Structure 1
Amino acid sequence: MTSAVYFCDNKGKPILSRRFKDDVPLNAIDKFQVVLSDLEEESSIIPPCITHNGIQYLFIQHNDLYIVALATSLATNIAEIFTFLHKMMDILGDYLKTVEEESIRDNFVIVYELLDEMMDFGIPQITETKMLKKYITQKSFKLVRAAKKKRNAARPPSELTNSVSWRAEGIKYKKNEAFLDIIESINMLMTQNGKVLRSEILGSVKVKSRLSGMPDLKLGINDRGIFTKYLDGNNIGVTLEESDQPSKSSESSITNTNGKTKTNIELEDLKFHQCVRLSKFENEKIITFIPPDGDFELMSYRLNTVIKPLIWCNMKVKVHSKSRIEIFCTAKAQIKKKSVATNVEIIIPVPEDADTPTFKYSHGKIKWVPEQNAIVWKIHTFPGGKEYAMSAELGLPSINSEEEPKFKRPVQVKFQIPYFTTSGIQVRYLKINEPKLQYKSYPWVRYITQNGDDYTIRLS
Structure 2
Amino acid sequence: MASGVYFCDIKGKPILSRRYRDDISISAIDNFAPLLFELEEESSVIPPCLSHRDVQYMFIQHEDLYVVAISTSLQTNAAQIFTFLHKLVAVLGDYLKTVEEESVRDNFVIIYELLDEMMDYGIPQITETKMLKQYITQKSFKLVKAVKKVKAVARPPTTLTNSVSWRAEGITYKKNEAFLDMVESVNMLMTHQGQVLRSEIIGQVKVKSRLSGMPDLKLGINDRGIFSKITSDVVNDGEPSSITSGKKKLNVELEDLKFHQCVRLSKFENEKIITFIPPDGDFELMSYRLTTPVKPLIWCDVNVQVHSQSRIEIHCRAKAQIKKKTIANNVEILIPVPDDADTPSFKYSHGSIKWVPEKSAILWKIRSFSGGKEYSMAAQMGLPSISGNEKPKFKRPVQVKFQIPYFTTSGINVRYLKITEPKLQYKSYPWVRYITQSGDDYTIRLN
Deviation at 1:172, TM superposition (A): 1.0
Which of residues 429, 436, 440 in structure 2 aligns to 1:449? 436
User: Counterpart of 1:295 in structure 2: which amino acid?
Assistant: D
Query: Relative to 1, partners in 2 of residues 1:217 and 1:142: Cα closer, same or farther, differing over 3 Å?
Result: farther
CA contact (8 A) 1:225 1:238 kept: no
SS in 2 for 1:346: strand
1:211 and 2:198 are equivalent in the alignment: no
Deviation at 1:151, TM superposition (A): 4.1
Task: Identify the residue that residue 28 of structure 1 maps to in structure 2.
Answer: 28
TM-score for the superposition, normalised by structure 2: 0.93
User: Counterpart of 1:294 in structure 2: which amino acid?
Assistant: G
SS in 1 for 2:306: strand
Task: Identify the residue that residue 187 of structure 1 maps to in structure 2.
Answer: 187
SS in 1 for 2:430: strand
| C-alpha separation in 1, matches of 2:391 and 2:325 | 40
CA contact (8 A) 1:187 1:201 kept: yes
Query: Relative to 1, partners in 2 of residues 1:99 and 1:236: Cα closer, same or farther, differing over 3 Å?
Result: closer
Deviation at 1:22, TM superposition (A): 2.0
| C-alpha separation in 1, matches of 2:295 and 2:360 | 29
Q: Higher mean Cα deviation, 422-431 or 395-404?
A: 395-404
Task: Identify the residue that residue 196 of structure 2 maps to in structure 1.
Answer: 196
Deviation at 1:231, TM superposition (A): 4.0
Query: Relative to 1, partners in 2 of residues 1:130 and 1:285: Cα closer, same or farther, differing over 3 Å?
Result: same
Which structure would you say has the larger RCO, counting Cα contacts within 8 Å and 6 or more residues apart? 1
**Structure 1: any 5+ residue segments left out of the alignment?**
240-262
Which of residues 288, 296, 301 in structure 1 aligns to 2:288? 301
SS in 2 for 1:335: coil
Task: Identify the residue that residue 282 of structure 1 maps to in structure 2.
Answer: 269
CA contact (8 A) 1:118 1:124 kept: yes
Deviation at 1:232, TM superposition (A): 5.2
Deviation at 1:142, TM superposition (A): 5.8
Map 1:381-396; keep pairs closer than 5 Å: 381-396=368-383
CA contact (8 A) 2:231 2:245 kept: no
Alpha-carbon displacement from aligned partner over 1:133-156 (angstroms, at most 9, x marks no partner): 1111224876844x62x6475421
SS in 2 for 1:228: coil
Query: Relative to 1, partners in 2 of residues 1:62 and 1:236: Cα closer, same or farther, differing over 3 Å?
Result: closer
Structure 1's consecutive aligned runs of 4 or more residues displaced over 3 angstroms after TM superposition are 139-145, 150-154, 229-239
Task: Identify the residue that residue 75 of structure 1 maps to in structure 2.
Answer: 75
Deviation at 1:229, TM superposition (A): 5.3
Query: Relative to 1, partners in 2 of residues 1:417 and 1:151: Cα closer, same or farther, differing over 3 Å?
Result: closer
Aligned length: 435
User: Counterpart of 2:197 in structure 1: which amino acid?
Assistant: L
| C-alpha separation in 1, matches of 2:216 and 2:78 | 32
| C-alpha separation in 2, matches of 1:114 and 1:182 | 33
TM-score for the superposition, normalised by structure 1: 0.90
**Structure 2: any 5+ residue segments left out of the alignment?**
234-241
CA contact (8 A) 1:224 1:286 kept: no
Task: Identify the residue that residue 53 of structure 2 maps to in structure 1.
Answer: 53
Task: Identify the residue that residue 377 of structure 1 maps to in structure 2.
Answer: 364
Deviation at 1:295, TM superposition (A): 0.6
SS in 2 for 1:264: coil
Alpha-carbon displacement from aligned partner over 1:178-232 (angstroms, at most 9, x marks no partner): 1010000111111111111111111111101111111111111124831225445
Map 1:168-317; keep pairs closer than 5 Å: 168-223=168-223, 225-228=225-228, 230-231=230-231, 236=244, 264-317=251-304
| C-alpha separation in 2, matches of 1:235 and 1:437 | 38
Deviation at 1:25, TM superposition (A): 2.4
Task: Identify the residue that residue 349 of structure 1 maps to in structure 2.
Answer: 336
Seq. identity, %: 75
SS in 2 for 1:226: coil
Alpha-carbon displacement from aligned partner over 1:117-146 (angstroms, at most 9, x marks no partner): 11112221111111111111224876844x
What is the root-mean-square deviation in Å for CA atoms of aligned residues? 2.0
User: Counterpart of 1:169 in structure 2: which amino acid?
Assistant: E
User: Counterpart of 1:349 in structure 2: which amino acid?
Assistant: P
Which of residues 420, 425, 430 in structure 1 aligns to 2:407? 420
User: Counterpart of 1:424 in structure 2: which amino acid?
Assistant: G
Alpha-carbon displacement from aligned partner over 1:91-140 (angstroms, at most 9, x marks no partner): 11111111111011001111111111111122211111111111112248
User: Counterpart of 2:70 in structure 1: which amino acid?
Assistant: L
User: Counterpart of 1:405 in structure 2: which amino acid?
Assistant: P
Task: Identify the residue that residue 249 of structure 1 maps to in structure 2.
Answer: none
User: Counterpart of 1:21 in structure 2: which amino acid?
Assistant: R
Task: Identify the residue that residue 39 of structure 1 maps to in structure 2.
Answer: 39
Deviation at 1:267, TM superposition (A): 1.0
1:399 and 2:382 are equivalent in the alignment: no
